[in-house]
Amino acid sequence: MQNKQILNGFESLRAIFFDMDGVIYDSMGNHAIAWSKAFGYLGWDFPLEKVYMNEGRTGSSTIHLLYQEKLGRQATDEEIEKIYGKKSEYFDQMPKSKPMAGTLKLMERVKFAGIEIWVVTGSGQDLLLEELCSDFFGLIQKGRIISAKDVKHCKPNPEPYLTALARSGYPAGKVVVIENAPLGIEAAKAAGIYTIGVNTGILADEILWNAGADVVVKKMAQVEDFIFSN
């Protein structure tokens, strides 16, 4: 398989960088509805597909984007606070997102193989990050999470993934990224890391390929097969 050559058959794999929403948690449906409702409060249309296309941005970056499109300017701090507050309120009203099917099993196998598990997410909510450590107790540890708070620039900027490389101490060639979002894939590829696109959302596979994914699959179980058969 041609992918084998890229990582020497993954034999030298030392760490896997997991994105959170849409990879670790089946949470994108909730986020998309919450964003649409939050902008709906201003009378602005933010269709679900557009939420998925912009996934990976921080909350403020998403709000700036819409203000730029609608009003030709950035949002003020008060506007960001208001819209992000609405978005969080709607999100919190929804049932808690479940872990993505297949992720726990993959992580257990990854840990058993002696490969480190890191999380690289645009989210910065303390509660969510704490839940992450308890939902995946023994697999995810606080010191191996790169969140919105650790970086100046969010995805699609490579900074979150470059930060994870620096903290882990591994070169890009010994790491694999698992991402569901086009901007996340762009960020990982710009950091020079082999990237598995797992298309758990509503976008066409082609969008993940076009973002630069090295391979695109539909489910976490296929990610597991791909990593451990290479």
- Return the number of the residue (181 or 227) whose C-beta is nearest Mg ion: 181
State the Cα–Cα distance between residues 180 and 32, nearest whole angstrom: 14
- Return the number of the residue (201 or 224) whose C-beta is nearest Mg ion: 201
| Dihedral, CA of residue 17, residue 20, residue 23 and residue 27, to nearest 10 | 180
- Return the number of the residue (42 or 104) whose C-beta is nearest Mg ion: 104
Q: Which stretch binds Mg ion (CB under 5 A): 19-27, 30-38, 82-90, 123-131?
A: 19-27
Q: Which stretch binds Mg ion (CB under 5 A): 63-71, 135-143, 148-156, 176-184?
A: 176-184
Cα Dmax for the chain? 52
- Return the number of the residue (22 or 160) whose C-beta is nearest Mg ion: 22
Sole binder of Mg ion in the list 21, 116, 186, 214 (CB under 5 A): 21
Q: For the CB of residue 86, give the shortest distance to Mg ion in the complex, in Å.
A: 21
3-state secondary structure the chain: CHHHHHCCCCCCCCEEEECCECCCECCHHHHHHHHHHHHHCCCCCCCHHHHHHCECECHHHHHHHHHHHHHCCCCCHHHHHHHHHHHHHHHHHCCCCCECCCHHHHHHHHHHCCCEEEEECCCCCHHHHHHHHHHCCCCCCHHHEECHHHCCCCCCCCHHHHHHHHHHCCCHHHEEEEECCHHHHHHHHHCCCEEEEECCCCCCHHHHHHCCCCEEECCHHHHHHHHHHC
- Return the number of the residue (21 or 224) whose C-beta is nearest Mg ion: 21
Question: Which two structure tokens, joined as six digits, stand for 128?
Answer: 């969510």
Q: Which stretch binds Mg ion (CB under 5 A): 21-29, 102-110, 125-133, 189-197?
A: 21-29
Residue 22 engages Mg ion in binding (rule: CB under 5 A) = yes
Residue 186 engages Mg ion in binding (rule: CB under 5 A) = no
Q: For the CB of residue 50, give the shortest distance to Mg ion in the complex, in Å.
A: 15
Q: For the CB of residue 4, give the shortest distance to Mg ion in the complex, in Å.
A: 26
Give the residue nearest to Mg ion (CB). Answer: 22
Residue 19 engages Mg ion in binding (rule: CB under 5 A) = yes
Residues 199, 204, 205: CA angle, nearest 5 degrees: 55
Residue 62 engages Mg ion in binding (rule: CB under 5 A) = no
- Return the number of the residue (110 or 181) whose C-beta is nearest Mg ion: 181
Residue 116 engages Mg ion in binding (rule: CB under 5 A) = no
Q: Which stretch binds Mg ion (CB under 5 A): 34-42, 93-101, 177-185, 186-194?
A: 177-185
Q: Which residues bind Mg ion (CB under 5 A)?
A: 19, 21-22, 180-181
